[in-house]
């Protein structure tokens, strides 16, 4: 079918669906119309509140303020003839991203959210996005402008970018704004999918896609203006942008925002904010719930009240039954109800949400025979034999426990198709998940061939279409969608996509002993978490002289440096032994099966979990830096960090080399934050979350901390002294840490946002006993009093 006709079919369905939206929410054609409506009818309602350090209300936006700033930014863009162009959005966490995004919509400019650059690796990805989107403009904040502009200017190909700092625009520009001629078919933004270091794909998302998916989410979540939301998810991804920013505006519910790094450093902050502000709707990928189970203490549990939490959605990575069960059990004394969990399924290509369950119903958890699933057959295990240890044998049968992701709503449809014959599979069979409906995006920007293959599929047996081919495998049982895996070998760790071919290329180039194109990367489940495994053949001329430790270290170091991933296991294989197809292609699934069954021909290996000596569960608490003798400080610090690293890597403490980089030991962005957080707790000194990247080994980090503690002692400061970082040097996932670097620099000189006159942060460092009394009094304020305080701007 003609591509234009396929698009027309989708648009026709979208128009009918938009006409059937919730009766409680007016019908809009664009997000501009939506915000203008809110600004006119609810001008003073606070819609977004940002928590400084994940704890203190710092800034907020009302509907009218957002409308005013969007008009001002749009006017400036129109003055620069930006209408119809693409504009990068490069922002730290906060409210500036939101005003810039709507400024683009108000100007008819296609927004392209992206990570601010951190290093050469991340710069190359950003340059690829600039080239693919053919971006002409870049919007950011004043503190970031000089750094980013200088970095990108090193490549002449980026010279076409015109830069605009949106935090210092004159407010009178808003009077020059004219309403754009956008329709529901107008593209709103490009969502570039994460993961690959190759050519990025920008998903074309229209106003109609966003409004329909918002209606779909509202149908599932059943939020109202009386609900309260909270999100720490990055605004650059669909889950954070659509779920955390656009959905609250659609419903008219206030939402609290915090930086991702503030959650990663202290997961308790997420649940504390839910408790303090009586949040009803908040969610995250599976790993976030797992972190809460692991990190939140019994003492912290005593303070939490999670009884208001009605919608704890989870998606973006495989949902694990074991995580849900442990979280529900741990936080039940805090008022958390198991029925609040809401597993769901979606992707950028469908705007966000595809399926979800029934609100206030417990997750649907079923057990199936594992071997049958591998053969694309669905064989349920009777419920009386349900085993809550996913992957363990049930009787004599290896089983898999799967969490259902709900059903379709409104006009969304799902088909389960055979990826080879392109026909619908029979009931009780696994196939590729195909999606059809108004949420399906318009395709990939400037990539017609990939768009045709992915977005315009037709069932060979019925002729039905166009369908989106998701690349996910699954089945439907009793109306419930169960996702079993990926048609392609995508690796998802901590909610982030990684393409195995990228990791394999990095691994094979790390040491001359490795055979190019004879390796495989895949993930396996270890202790309820996905872990990375690399198997790689060794060249024949290296077999006799193979230094296993050297090669394994080279692979771990290269992968960690490039992707901030810890490699759980490295297996070096005998020449010509890796499973391959008749055409010579490495079979990743066969490699994974061989790893699990111990059938690969291994000449050397390293598995983190197999080390016999395990470090203490927590390094012993030492005196704070103000009481450690200067001569002993460095040694004591080194010992503590060695013990901490041994615990994290499951290596013997005696094998830790203090001169070896943290990256060589496989620290990813999350564990790097945990190191800084644990050090901060132990030392009693505020530390930068980028510490492990600023000082990349134990020796340099201990020396730096020792020097700072000596300065602190000599200055005899009464309050803790914040240790400032040097130059940030990190990888792709470190955007969260970059955001934290600038969270105290993104202040506004032209008062574009209002602040609360009193903030806990402004008084919490004095150490005075009167502060505790004042804090207690602040906690006793009523909602009306808090609203009154937050509703008054600083004069």
Over 90: is that where the pLDDT of 712 sits? no
More confident residue, 450 or 392: 450
Supply the pLDDT for residue 88: 96
pLDDT of residue 627: 40
Alpha helices in 112-206 (DSSP H): 120-133, 142-153
Nearest to 571 by CA among 541, 606, 543: 606
The pair of three-digit structure tokens given for residue 736, joined into one six-digit string: 């969260």
- The structure's pTM equals 0.74
Range(s) within the chain of domains with CATH label 1.10.1200.10: 634-711
Higher-pLDDT residue of 44 and 145 is: 44
- CATH superfamily assigned to domain 31-266: ANL, N-terminal domain (3.40.50.12780)
Instruction: Determine the distance from the C-alpha atom of residue 732 to the mean position of all C-alpha atoms in its chain, rounded to a whole number.
Output: 12
Q: Is the pLDDT of residue 128 over 50?
A: yes
β-partners of residue 49 are: 60, 256
pLDDT tens-digit series, residues 466-500: 999 999 999 999 999 999 888 877 788 876 778 78
| Unique residue bearing structure tokens 């109800």 | 337
What are the pLDDT digits (tens) for 656-685? 999 988 877 877 777 888 898 888 888 888
pLDDT for 182: 96
The hierarchical CATH code for the domain 491-607 is 3.30.300.30
Tokens standing for 360? 């206030």
How buried is 577 (Cβ within 10 angstroms: 0-12 exposed, 13-18 middle, 19+ buried)? Answer: middle
Whether a cis peptide bond, with omega within 30° of 0, leads into 119 is no
Highest averaged pLDDT of the listed ranges 6-20, 28-42, 169-183, 602-616: 28-42
Question: Which of 210-219, 368-377, 410-419 is the least confident region?
Answer: 368-377
End-to-end Cα distance, the chain: 62
The half-sphere exposure of 275 on its side-chain side, counting CA atoms within 13 A, is 18
List pLDDT tens digits, range 394-441. Answer: 455 678 899 999 999 999 999 999 999 999 999 999 999 999 999 999
Residue 480's φ and ψ, nearest 5 degrees, are -100, 135
Continuous segment of H or E residues that includes residue 164: strand 162-165
Q: Is residue 695 within 8 Å of residue 662, measured between CB atoms?
A: no
The answer on pLDDT for 27 being more than 80 is: yes
Average pLDDT score over the chain: 82
Q: What is the DSSP string of 610-629?
A: G-S----SSPPP---TTTS-
Rg of the chain, C-alpha, whole Å: 26
486 strand-pairing partners: 472
Which secondary-structure segment (H or E) carries 265? helix 260-265
pLDDT for res 26: 77
What pLDDT, in 10s, does the model give residues 541-600? 999 999 999 999 899 989 988 887 889 999 999 998 999 876 567 889 899 999 999 999
More confident residue, 124 or 308: 308
Q: What stretch(es) of the chain map to CATH 3.40.50.12780?
A: 31-266
Strand partners, 413: 436
In sequence order, the 6+-apart residues with CB closer than 8 A to the CB of 111 are 86, 87, 89, 100, 101, 104, 105, 188, 189, 190
DSSP string across 496-562: EEE-HHHHHHHHHTT-TTEEEEEEEEEEEEETTEEEEEEEEEEPGGGSTT--HHHHHHHHHHHHHHH
Strands 110-113 and 86-89: parallel
Q: Which residue has the tokens 């001008």?
A: 43
Q: Please list the residue range(s) of the chain that carry CATH number 3.30.300.30.
A: 491-607
Taking only the tens place, the pLDDT of each residue in 220-279 is 999 999 999 999 999 988 999 999 999 999 999 999 999 999 999 999 999 999 999 999
Band of pLDDT at residue 385, cut at 50, 70 and 90: low
CATH 2.30.38.10 intervals, the chain: 365-382+398-488
Residues 425 and 477 sit within 8 Å (Cβ to Cβ): no
The pLDDT of residue 325 is above 90: yes
Q: What is the mean pLDDT of residues 695-710?
A: 88
**Residue 304 pLDDT level (bands cut at 50, 70, 90):** very high
Is 195:316 a contact under the CB 8 Å cutoff? Answer: no
634-711: CATH, from 1.10.1200.10, 2.40.70.10, 3.90.1300.10, 1.20.1300.10 = 1.10.1200.10
Q: Tell me the torsion sign for CA atoms 750, 754, 758, 763.
A: negative
Burial string for 167-183 (b: 16+ CB within 10 Å, else e) reads bebeeebbeebeebebe
pLDDT-wise least confident of 82-91, 165-174, 235-244, 433-442: 165-174
Indicate whether 389 pLDDT > 50.
Answer: no
Number of H helices, E strands in the chain: 27, 28
Residue 338: exposure state from Cβ atoms within 10 A (0-12, 13-18, ≥19): middle
Tens-digit pLDDT profile for residues 602-618: 999 998 854 433 333 44
Q: Is the pLDDT of residue 705 over 50?
A: yes
pLDDT tier for residue 175 given thresholds of 50, 70 and 90: low
Residue 266, Cβ neighbours under 10 Å: how many? Answer: 22
pLDDT of amino acid 713:
62
Q: What is the pLDDT of residue 328?
A: 98
Residue 90, pLDDT score = 95
CATH number of the domain located at residue range(s) 365-382+398-488 in this protein = 2.30.38.10
Give the residue, 585 or 35, on which the prediction is more confident: 35
282 vs 280: CA distance, rounded Å: 7
């Amino acid at each position: 079918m003609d591509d234009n006709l396929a698009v027309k079919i989708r648009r026709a369905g979208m128009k009918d669906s938009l006409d059937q939206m919730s009766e409680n929410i007016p019908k809009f054609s664009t997000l501009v119309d939506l915000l203008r409506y809110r600004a006119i009818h609810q001008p003073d309602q606070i819609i977004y509140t940002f928590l400084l350090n994940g704890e203190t209300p710092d800034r907020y936006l009302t509907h009218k303020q957002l409308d005013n700033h969007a008009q001002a930014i749009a006017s400036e863009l129109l003055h620069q003839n930006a209408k119809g162009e693409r504009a990068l959005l490069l922002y730290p966490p906060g409210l500036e991203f939101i005003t810039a995004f709507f400024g683009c919509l108000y100007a008819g400019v296609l927004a392209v959210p992206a990570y601010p650059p951190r290093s050469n690796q991340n710069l190359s990805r950003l340059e690829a996005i600039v080239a693919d989107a053919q971006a002409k403009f870049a919007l950011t904040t004043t503190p970031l402008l000089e750094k980013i502009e200088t970095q990108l200017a090193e490549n002449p190909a980026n010279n076409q970018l015109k830069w605009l700092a949106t935090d210092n625009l004159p407010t009178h520009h808003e009077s020059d704004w004219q309403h754009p001629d956008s329709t529901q078919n107008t593209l709103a933004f490009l969502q570039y999918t994460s993961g690959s270091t190759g050519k990025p794909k920008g998903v074309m998302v229209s106003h109609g896609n966003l409004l329909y998916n918002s209606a779909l989410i509202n149908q599932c979540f059943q939020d109202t203006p009386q609900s309260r939301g909270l999100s720490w998810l990055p605004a650059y991804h669909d889950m954070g942008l659509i779920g955390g920013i656009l959905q609250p505006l659609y419903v008219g519910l206030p939402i609290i925002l915090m930086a991702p790094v503030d959650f990663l450093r202290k997961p308790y902050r997420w649940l504390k904010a839910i408790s303090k502000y009586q949040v009803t709707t908040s969610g995250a990928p599976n790993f976030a719930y797992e972190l809460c189970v692991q990190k939140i203490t019994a003492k912290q549990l005593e303070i939490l009240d999670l009884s208001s939490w009605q919608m704890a959605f989870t998606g973006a990575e495989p949902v694990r039954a074991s995580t849900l069960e442990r979280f529900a059990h741990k936080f039940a004394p805090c008022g958390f109800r198991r029925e609040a969990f809401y597993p769901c399924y979606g992707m950028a290509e469908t705007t966000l949400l595809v399926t979800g369950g029934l609100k206030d119903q417990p997750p649907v958890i079923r057990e199936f025979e594992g071997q049958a699933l591998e053969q694309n057959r669905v064989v349920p295990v009777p419920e009386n034999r349900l085993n809550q240890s996913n992957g363990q044998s049930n009787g004599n049968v290896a089983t898999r426990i799967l969490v259902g992701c709900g059903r379709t709503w409104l006009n969304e449809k799902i088909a389960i198709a055979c990826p080879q014959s392109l026909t619908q599979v029979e009931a009780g069979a696994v196939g590729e998940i195909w999606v059809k409906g108004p949420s399906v995006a318009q395709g990939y920007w400037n990539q017609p061939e990939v768009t045709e293959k992915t977005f315009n599929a037709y069932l060979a047996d019925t002729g039905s279409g166009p369908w989106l081919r998701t690349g996910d495998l699954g089945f439907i049982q009793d109306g419930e969608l169960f996702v079993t895996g990926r048609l392609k070998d995508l690796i998802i760790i901590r909610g982030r996509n990684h393409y195995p071919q990228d990791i394999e290329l990095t691994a094979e180039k790390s040491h001359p002993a490795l055979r190019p194109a004879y390796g495989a990367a895949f993930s396996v489940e270890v202790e309820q978490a996905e872990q990375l495994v690399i198997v790689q053949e060794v060249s024949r001329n290296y077999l006799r002289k193979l230094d296993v430790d050297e090669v394994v270290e080279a692979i771990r170091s290269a992968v960690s440096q490039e992707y901030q991933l810890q490699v759980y296991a490295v297996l070096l294989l005998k020449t010509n032994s890796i499973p391959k197809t008749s055409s010579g292609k490495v079979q990743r699934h066969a490699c994974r099966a061989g790893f699990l069954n111990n059938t690969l021909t291994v000449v050397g290996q390293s598995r983190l979990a197999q080390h016999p000596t395990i470090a203490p569960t927590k390094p012993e608490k030492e005196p704070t830096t103000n009481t450690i003798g200067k001569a002993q400080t460095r040694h004591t610090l080194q010992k503590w960090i060695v013990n901490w690293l041994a615990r994290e890597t499951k290596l013997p403490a005696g094998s830790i080399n203090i001169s070896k980089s943290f990256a060589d030991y496989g620290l990813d962005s999350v564990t790097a934050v945990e190191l800084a957080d644990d050090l901060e707790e132990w030392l009693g000194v505020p530390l930068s979350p980028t510490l492990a990247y600023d000082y990349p080994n134990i020796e340099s980090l201990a020396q730096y901390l020792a020097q700072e503690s000596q300065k602190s002692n000599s200055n005899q400061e009464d309050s803790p002294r914040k240790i400032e970082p040097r130059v940030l040097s990190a990888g792709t996932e470190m955007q969260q840490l970059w955001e934290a670097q600038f969270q105290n620099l993104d202040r506004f000189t032209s008062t574009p946002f209002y602040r609360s006159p009193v903030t806990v942060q402004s008084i919490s460092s004095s150490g005075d006993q009167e502060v505790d009394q004042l804090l207690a009094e602040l906690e006793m304020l009523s909602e009306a009093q808090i609203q009154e305080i937050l509703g008054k701007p600083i004069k």
